[in-house]
Amino acid sequence: MLIDSFGRKIDYLRISVTDRCNLRCVYCMPAGGIINKPHAELLTFEEIGEIVSVCAKLGIEKIRFTGGEPLVRKNLADLISSLSKISGIKDIALTTNGMLLKEQAGQLKKAGLKRVNISLDSLRHDRYRNITRQGDLEKVWEGIREASNVGFFPVKVNVLLLEDIDQYEIANFLSLTLEDSFHIRFLEFMPVNSFYKAEGAISGEGIMKIARGFGDIEEAKMVGNGPARVYKFKNGRGTFGIISPMSCKFCFRCNRLRLTSDGFLKACLHSELKVNLRDPLRGGANADEISKLIKAAVDMKPREHSLDREGTKAGEFSMCQIGG
């Protein structure tokens, strides 16, 4: 069992399988793009499997694949299939932009993927195109429908609260949960990088004010590992959740580690501290040695992020380089 220095049980690993993406979202990718890691520097599927095997013996039970865009990594279903067979791994999920999901949903489900989160920051074609720089909203909707058709449940939709989202679009997202079993998650914007700012973006409480205008709200429960506060309208079929890392910190119950696509283990998204697992693994380190490195990363886990503190500087990185 992995317990950090603040008594938190660590049982959740987010794995970035690539730093490449088929979109160029303004809050994630600088206008000039990034220099992608050479393929030789990325972890192989076999190396990811070795790391996950050690993590499972230390108490990691849940895995989520991220990127970049994880579905641009070829043969991802093969990796999912192999990890699903590791003793102790109980849940495998995926976060995707949905652009390639229609074509891959069926094989991912057969491989052992349990759940899918789709990032969708706008319901308007023009605004979605502006945010993603090259996205196709209809392709995302096709992916969402196919994920539901092949049996994924729940299919969650992640909405990042950027400064130009208005109450009418928020209301439209909320409306999706009334007649259909959509599961919408509103995420407060976090100023993690230096090239994008969302001054005045709406908070989680702002979402609740709009939601209360729809009618009676009650708390709901939802399968997953995230920190969302989940609600539903009294007569609604779906749910909506709010993730408030800025206005209502949830670091005190953070249970996750992050493995970057090039093999570094981070105990906090916003900390510069990380442990290199790739090079020792390629140098012949055995399971016990990798286990000690994982425990060292857990010991580095801070009490909480510092993005709400005056003077904290945003990073000079794209989220593709760490993993969402």
CB 186 within 8 A of CB 159: yes
Report d(CA 28, CA 32) in Å as an integer. 12
Report DSSP letters for 1-25, one per residue.
Answer: -EE-TTS-EE-EEEEE--S--S---
* pLDDT exceeds cutoff 90 at 4: yes
Q: What is the pLDDT of residue 211?
A: 96
Q: Which of 225-234, 254-263, 265-274 has the highest mean pLDDT?
A: 254-263
CA 58 to CA 54: how far, in whole Å? 7
Residue 311 scores a pLDDT above 60: no
Share of the chain above pLDDT 90, in %: 77
- pLDDT for the residue 32: 81
> Is 295's pLDDT higher than 70?
yes
| Residue 278 pLDDT | 98
Q: What is the pLDDT of residue 313?
A: 58
Q: What does the pLDDT read at residue 308?
A: 58
Tell me how far apart the alpha carbons of residues 221 and 98 are, in angstroms, rounded to a whole number: 24
Output the CA–CA distances (angstroms, integers) from residue 63 to 79, 210, 213, in the order listed: 12, 33, 37
Question: pTM for the complete prediction?
Answer: 0.93
Averaged pLDDT, 181-207: 88
Angle at 35 between CA 64 and CA 97, to 5 degrees: 35
Task: Tell me the one-letter amino acid at 280.
Answer: P
Which of 62-76, 105-119, 301-315 has the least mean pLDDT? 301-315
C-alpha 205/C-alpha 244 separation (Å) is 9
Poorest-confidence range of 211-215, 287-291, 316-320? 316-320
pLDDT digits (tens, 9 = 90+) for 147-163: 999 999 989 999 999 99
User: What's the pLDDT at 59?
Assistant: 98
Question: Looking at residues 246-274, what average pLDDT do you find?
Answer: 88
Question: Which band of pLDDT confidence, cut at 50, 70 and 90, is reported for residue 177?
Answer: very high
Q: What is the pLDDT of residue 133?
A: 94
Average pLDDT over residues 112-120: 97
Q: How many CB atoms lie within 10 A of CB 31?
A: 9
Q: Give pLDDT tens digits for 275-284.
A: 999 999 999 9
Residue-wise pLDDT for 80-113, tens only, equals 999 999 999 999 999 999 999 999 999 999 999 9
Burial class (CB in 10 A: 0-12, 13-18, 19+), 87: exposed
